[in-house]
Amino acid sequence: SAALMDCMETFFELLDKEKSAAVRAVLGHFVFVFIHPYPDGNGRIGRFLMNLMLASGGYPWTVIRLTQRKPYMETLEQASVNKDITAFTNFIAREMQVDWAKTT
């Protein structure tokens, strides 16, 4: 649809303008999942895109563990409902630290 195309265009413009890989990753993941362009797999694609953006900034690949799925989904939903991505950002930052520790 035209609305979806407009949203995706805005999504790519946002990513292009943001200089920080970490901000691009978290914001990009949230916005992609919020737009929800596909019937299925948006979360998986969003997490994949997040990791591509993190890697572009030299950050390690960050896996959301199955044990963290519930808080991941809760903070993602909270970000959408409250129009505030702070809790989601903090969740991703904590997950990045866990995975970063595995690489050292």
List, for residues 37-69, the tens digit of each pLDDT value.
999 999 999 999 999 999 999 998 999 999 999
CATH number 1.10.3290.10 is the correct assignment for the domain at 2-103: yes
Residues designated catalytic: 36
pLDDT given for residue 42 in this prediction = 96
Angle at 58 between CA 98 and CA 102, to 5 degrees: 25
* pLDDT of res. 86: 96
**pTM across the whole model:** 0.85
CA dist 50 and 21 (Å) reads 9
Spatial contact of 80 and 86, defined as CB atoms under 8 Å apart: no
CA distance 42 to 84: 20
Q: How confident is the model at residue 23 (pLDDT cuts 50, 70, 90)?
A: very high
Separation of alpha carbons 9 and 2, rounded Å: 10
pLDDT of residue 78: 96
Residues 6+ apart with CB under 8 A from 11: 28, 31, 32, 35
- Confidence band, pLDDT 50/70/90 cuts, at residue 101: low
Q: Percent of the chain beyond pLDDT 70? A: 93
Share of the chain above pLDDT 90, in %: 86
